[in-house]
Amino acid sequence: MIQINKHSVTSIGVIIFLIPVLFFALWIHACNQTSGYPENVELYQSYFPSMLRGRFTTTVLSLVLCVIAIGLNVGNLNSSNKFLKIVSWFMVIVGGLLGFLNLFSMM
């Protein structure tokens, strides 16, 4: 069996989590640039390639990536390394909040 360093798993989780954070930042940027919801959606979707311009495509992708990031970090919640433990708790809490925000936006 392959041994994977806990720091590497946490780093991969952080990198994966940055993608949904970028999606959220782009949505905030689009909301600040236009005056109405249809224009917000149009501007937001213009940032992505055509295969990601579906109605819920980026939302589902963001939700899946949040779950993956949480899954990669949940194993380090009781780590003896204090920094690793703090990063993992932060990732689980913020990833969960962002994931629930994505679920709420699909309603």
**pLDDT score at 2:** 58
| Domain total of the chain | 1
Residue 44 domain flag: yes
**pLDDT score at 53:** 87
Residue 55 domain flag: yes
Residue 27 domain flag: yes
Residue 81 domain flag: yes
Residue 101 domain flag: yes
Q: Which domain holds residue 71?
A: 6-105
**pLDDT score at 3:** 59
pTM of the model: 0.89
Residue 2, classed as helix, strand or coil, is coil
Residue 1 domain flag: no
Q: What 3 state SS string does 34-81 have?
A: CCCHHHHHHHHHHCCCHHHCCCCHHHHHHHHHHHHHHHHHHHHCCCCC
Residue 22 domain flag: yes
In which residue ranges of the chain is pLDDT below 70?
Answer: 1-3
**pLDDT score at 58:** 92
